Structures are given as structure tokens and as C-alpha cells.
Amino acid sequence: MPLKKGYKQLLAEAAGRITTLSPGEAREFYGEQDTVFVDLRDPRELEREGMIPGAFHAPRGMLEFWVDPESPYYKNVFGSGKRFLLYCQSGWRSALACAALEDMGLPRVAHIEGGFRAWKDAGLPTGPRPERHKPA
């Protein structure tokens, strides 16, 4: 049975309505108190590739639940009113996530074109995933 829409069409539709920043444009917001970089990648990707220092990790599969204040999984960071710059490895997941968050009504959200790979290739700041502290 053929799909009504494939991933290419979903990405094209998202690209037509979301804010996309190049790595260089996103770099202008790096370190600003009013901006949160959000890493959507799987924890294994963070372990393997590292991440943008200071980014907030929100696995793609939990994002909508973490953003919605009515969800039992809500994370306060998403109610901060800050600008959110989403990224994944290549920019596909972050584009679709950006569209979903805009549909939910989250203001000031954009994604980084080309994702972490493009950020890293541009020589922009990267570092290891911070160690998680386990309760004693």
C-alpha cells in the first residue's frame, strides 16, 4: 500500500513553513542567555559524536511530551520563553520537530540546517556529552 506522504514530502512541507538557520547563523545565538540549543539525537549518538556544549538533550521521541505543560513528562525549560534552536545529526528530525512544535504553539523555535554534522564541519564548538550523575 503506497503512503499518502513520504519523508521527502514531509521535509519539503516543513521546510516551507519553519525557520531554518545555517550553522553560522545559529552560531550568533550560541552562549546567549535567551537561547537554548536542543539536541534531539539518541543518547548513543551523543556518546559517539559529542554535542554542542551547553545544549539541552531532549530525545526526539519525547519532545512533544516534554513541551506540553499538561503532560506528566513536561520539562520547565520549555516554558521559559527562550528561543529554541533544534538540531539532530543531519537536520531531518529537527526540521520535522520544529514543525511539530510550531503546530503546538511554541514560539521562537528554529532548526539548524544540516544538523550537528554541519555545525561540526563548520568548526563550531563541540564537546563530549556531560556525564550523568547517578544517585548514590
Residue 95 pLDDT more than 60? Answer: yes
Q: How far apart are CA 12 and CA 72, in angstroms?
A: 32
Residue 90 pLDDT more than 60? Answer: yes
Q: How far apart are CA 109 and CA 85, in angstroms?
A: 6
pLDDT (tens digit per residue) in 8-64: 999 999 999 999 999 999 999 999 999 999 999 999 999 999 999 999 999 999 999
Written as nine digits, the cell of 83 is 528561543
Domain 16-121 superfamily per CATH:
Rhodanese-like domain (3.40.250.10)
> Lowest mean pLDDT: which of 44-48, 67-71, 111-115, 131-135?
131-135
Q: How far apart are CA 125 and CA 53, in angstroms?
A: 7
Residue 4 pLDDT more than 60? Answer: yes
Other Cβ atoms within 10 Å of 86 Cβ, number: 29
Other Cβ atoms within 10 Å of 41 Cβ, number: 24
Instruction: Quote the pTM value.
Output: 0.93
Assess contact for 84 and 108: CB atoms under 8 A: yes
pLDDT at residue 130, as a whole number: 81
Chain centroid to Cα 102, Å, comes to: 13
